[in-house]
Amino acid sequence: MNRRDFFKFGFGGAGLAVGGGLASGADNSPSSPGRSVYSHPSWVKMISRPKLAVDDNVYSRFNARNNIFGSFTRYYGEENRKELMKESRNRTMEYYLEKRPGYRLEDRALADAAWVISRLGGLNRGTRAWTSKSVRSPEQRGVEKYTGSPEETARLIKAAARYFGAATVGITILDRRHIHSQERGKQIVFEKADEPYEDEKKLVIPDKCKYAIALSVQMSLDNLQCSPTAISSAGSSMGYSRCEFLVAGLAQFIRGLGYVAIPSVNDLGSSVAIGVDAGLGELGRTNRLITPEFGPSVRLCKVLTDLPLATDKPIDFGLLEFCKICKRCAEACPSNCISFDDQPSFRVKGEWNNPGHQAWFEDAPKCFAYWQKSTSGCSICIPVCPWAKKDKTMIHEIVKAASAKIPALDIFFNTMDEAFGYGRQKDADKWWSLNLPEYGIDTTQGKG
Amino acid sequence: MAEKEKFLVVKIRKSTWFIWAMRVIWVLWLLFWAEFMVGSWKEFERRAFVISLIVLLLSLAVGSFLWLWGYLKHKKA
């Protein structure tokens, strides 16, 4: 009996009433046969709409140029940016010379090397190209394109996604408002077309691409716990590289079945919004997706397709209530960019936020400026989250299940989490001596 | 010959259901902390490992002491 079954049957029949109650209270009915390949823990509830509200009169497509990477200079000021970069360069050299753990040549080289696959793709470029000449289509094989029920197809897609490295997979009907209006200086438009294409002015997504496959990839907590160092940065960049491989492989698989597939990582649209709709997780205080299995320790990516698929539902695992009282990420954030508000709201912090939905909006320029100051990026908010756990002991599953069902215990759980030392920064020097599994992650985690 | 000289009399004290329940709870408590300790070690969570180890050892010591104390008390009686 594995740990998930143990919980499903009420803590192995040990007679702990609380366990039985927690397990049996969950709506664990399969929402699609795809769930036979992947399902959330039994204490995760399926709901019809995401818990945080969307104002349909305001929420619209976001111009990617306004994100922090595209407009940092505009938000921070040209002079301030120059000063910041100078400070960052000086500090980088200072850390090199003093051989500070986590900032030495080997640490930086590791972080850079972990990006290597990610750099093979971009919006409709390289591994993220919207069409492929190398795929063997059903036509070339002399057969009809794949036909199966949406449920059966969802099962295939989820199995293939897992095979290509997805930690969790969800499917949703694409809400076009999640897709950027412009990116790379071009309009992104939906048109009646057989294949996606790009010309000098626009990127065209065929109208028939109605489905979005939301995918998460685990990041190594052992790396992220060393944040803010290059070791932590390597955890993040490795996540991106694995996303790259995942979306490229899955898109090619779908094309091989005879359908359109548009692979995407952070480009094209909001992976977080699509992930929430597809039931990968909930929106947390960091304004990022938090999953029940890995907390925020995931990278997200997606594939848009016209392949008919059974869809999943958004989920509720008590995160909203937990984030209201926890605030550990906001307290730990060295740039003070995460909101301390008790409640999520519609009030954005600046142009970098897409308005029209409830969230704890972040002060992105402060965050990005700290990335430069630290010289190696930052992901402190990820390992301090009490939902980011390695799952090697039963207590984490008990606490998560109890928190999902009894929000009154959240304060106690948060206090205990801190008291037991979770979320503390680890010594980057010791990372090199850890006997880590492949990619630094436990690929069996959260799989039941 | 007196009965006393003929037989060796062995007295076995019957534990109450409450004592048995406490023993079961104690064992489960120890197992819980032992599992937590091993898991924390695997997770490289040093502080959680140390706390769970201390709680485990304390629980073991307190439980053993109570058992010994009860044993000696009944032996005297």
Q: What is the DSSP letter of A229?
A: S
Cross-chain residue pair A393–B28, CB shorter than 8 Å: no
Distance from CA of B39 to the nearest CA of A (A): 4
B7 touches chain A (CB under 8 A): no
Domain presence at residue B65: yes
Amino acid in the structure at residue A163: Y
| A422 contact residues in B (CB cutoff 8 A) | 45, 48
> CB-hemisphere CA count at 13 Å for A63?
8
pLDDT tens digits, A269-300: 999 999 999 999 999 999 999 999 999 999 99
Distance from CA of B66 to the nearest CA of A (A): 25
| B32 contact residues in A (CB cutoff 8 A) | 394-395
Distance from CA of B69 to the nearest CA of A (A): 29
Q: Which residues pair with A213 in a beta bridge?
A: A171, A303
Which chain A residue has its CA at the smallest distance from B37's CA?
A: A393
Cross-chain residue pair A393–B38, CB shorter than 8 Å: yes
- Residue of B45, B50, B54 to mutate for A, most A C-beta atoms under 10 A: B45
Domain presence at residue B60: yes
CB A65 within 8 A of CB A182: yes
pLDDT in single tens digits along all 448 residues of chain A: 455 444 444 444 333 333 333 333 344 444 444 445 678 999 999 999 999 999 999 999 999 999 999 899 999 999 999 999 999 999 999 999 999 999 999 999 999 999 999 999 999 999 999 999 899 999 999 999 999 999 999 999 999 999 999 999 999 999 999 999 999 999 999 999 999 999 999 999 999 999 999 999 999 999 999 999 999 999 999 999 999 999 999 999 999 999 999 999 999 999 999 999 999 999 999 999 999 999 999 999 999 999 999 999 999 999 999 999 999 999 999 999 999 999 999 999 999 999 999 999 999 999 999 999 999 999 999 999 999 999 899 999 999 999 999 999 999 999 999 999 999 999 999 999 999 999 999 998 887 6
Token pair for residue B30? 């120890």
Which chain B residue has its CA at the smallest distance from A434's CA?
A: B44
Domain presence at residue B50: yes
- Residue of A384, A395, A444 to mutate for B, most B C-beta atoms under 10 A: A395
Sequence-distant (6+) residues with CB within 8 A of A317 are: A40, A43, A44, A45, A282, A292, A400, A404
Residues 12-71 of B with CB under 8 A from A: 28, 32, 35-36, 38-40, 42-48, 51
β-strands A186-191, A202-206: how paired?
A: parallel
- Cα–Cα distance measured from residue A26 to residue A189, given in angstroms and rounded to the nearest whole number: 40
- Cα–Cα distance measured from residue A176 to residue A205, given in angstroms and rounded to the nearest whole number: 10
Domain limits at B33? Answer: 18-76
Q: What is the separation of C-alpha A247 from the centre of its chain, rounded to a whole number of angstroms?
A: 13
Domain presence at residue B13: no
Cross-chain residue pair B43–A426, CB shorter than 8 Å: no
Which chain A residue has its CA at the smallest distance from B33's CA?
A: A395
Other C-beta atoms lying within 10 Å of the C-beta of residue B73: 9
- Cα–Cα distance measured from residue A90 to residue A147, given in angstroms and rounded to the nearest whole number: 59
Find the helix or strand (DSSP H, E) in which A330 lies: helix A328-332
Alpha helix (H) ranges present in A98-149? 105-114, 138-141
3-state class of A205 per DSSP? strand
β-strands A125-126, A168-173: how paired?
A: unpaired
List the single residue in B36, B44, B47 with the smallest CB-CB distance to A393.
B36
- Cα–Cα distance measured from residue A250 to residue A45, given in angstroms and rounded to the nearest whole number: 27
Amino acid in the structure at residue A2: N
Domain presence at residue B2: no
Cross-chain residue pair A420–B47, CB shorter than 8 Å: yes
Task: Give how many domains chain B has, as a whole number.
Answer: 1
Alpha helix (H) ranges present in A9-67? 10-13, 17-24
Of A221, A226, A193, which Cα lies nearest the Cα of A207? A193
pTM of the model: 0.89
CB A98 within 8 A of CB A222: no
| A393 contact residues in B (CB cutoff 8 A) | 35-36, 38-40, 42-43
| B47 contact residues in A (CB cutoff 8 A) | 420-421, 424
